[in-house]
Structure 1
Amino acid sequence: MKKNWLNIFLFFSVALMIIISIITIIKTYEKKIISEKGIEVVAEVITAPNTCDNYRRRPPYSKIKFNNKIFIKKIEKDYCHWVSQKKTVKMLTNEKKNTLIFVNEYDPNQFVFGVLLMIIGIVISVKKLYDMRKSK
């Protein structure tokens, strides 16, 4: 019975890994498209960190208004100075104007992280299936 629960836990863990990797790849692809073909806009900063000096381990969030919509953005350390103590910020958006990213937010290495996570999940699944067939 214990082995069965471990198999179920492993299955759901691997499925979660693969889902997270797919989401990472899709979001990174969207950022790539916006960075290449995006429209540069000026958005209004509603709330932002007061200072970037005491940046904690957990990044703060900022509310940015554009096209009568409010976007909540996680402010990484590299972008904190763009919104801190500012009224407006230069950003990129897509043609539908429903996504905002900072000018240099696209990082091609995120593709690598997503693909590696997917490969690890697939390798674990294949190895487990191989071991299950071998034990029968």
Structure 2
Amino acid sequence: MLIVSSIIVRNGYLDKKITERNEKVVVRVIDCYETGKRNYFLKFEFENKIVVKRTKAKYCRNLIDTNQTEMLTNENHNRFIFIDEYETDNDFLFGFILSGFALVIIFKGYNILKRM
């Protein structure tokens, strides 16, 4: 749980940095599709490269009947987020709560082992 929570917090931090950097790029939307329950993927092209990004249904609905959209990116152009994605889908709190649970479990397990 501690590893998963650290990944969630790290991804939130990267999204925060991209949002603060505010480098907007226009990408060509190829497809936005669902692969199962609530698993949506956006396939788009940027600088002649095809990129697939996991996303949420609301973003796919906003892309119906459009062939391009504006996104934020990092300096390497290898991570893309929607303009409002950090503000609306920030998982920092969830990551910190999960890490708190993990630390409590580790602490309790250590105390039980110490008493034996």
Letter in 2 for 1:100: F
1:115 alignment partner in structure 2: 96
Shift of residue 47, structure 1, vs aligned partner: 1.3
Which has the higher Rg, Structure 1 or Structure 2?
1
SS at match of 1:118: helix
Task: Answer yes or no: is the 8 Å Cα contact 1:46–1:64 preserved in 2.
Answer: yes
Q: 2:32 aligns with which of 40, 48, 58?
A: 48
- Name the CA distance, whole Å, in 1 between partners of 2:76 and 2:98: 30
Q: 2:66 aligns with which of 75, 80, 86?
A: 86
- 5+ residue gaps in structure 2? none
Letter in 1 for 2:27: A
2:38 alignment partner in structure 1: 58
SS at match of 2:57: coil
- Name the CA distance, whole Å, in 2 between partners of 1:18 and 1:47: 35
- What TM-score results when the alignment is normalised by the length of structure 1? 0.75
SS at match of 2:113: helix
When you count strand as a share of all residues, which structure comes out higher?
2
Task: Answer yes or no: is the 8 Å Cα contact 1:71–1:100 preserved in 2.
Answer: no
Task: Answer yes or no: is the 8 Å Cα contact 2:12–2:90 preserved in 1.
Answer: no
Pair 1:131-2:112 in alignment: yes
Q: Aligned-residue CA RMSD in angstroms?
A: 1.9
Pair 1:68-2:48 in alignment: yes
- What TM-score results when the alignment is normalised by the length of structure 2? 0.87
SS at match of 1:34: helix
Letter in 2 for 1:84: I
2:16 alignment partner in structure 1: 32
Task: Answer yes or no: is the 8 Å Cα contact 1:94–1:100 preserved in 2.
Answer: yes
SS at match of 2:75: coil
SS at match of 1:117: helix
Shift of residue 71, structure 1, vs aligned partner: 1.6
- 5+ residue gaps in structure 1? 1-16, 50-55
Query: After superposition, what is the alpha-carbon deviation per residue over 1:89-108, rounded to whole angstroms, capped at 9, x for unaligned?
Result: 11111112111110111147
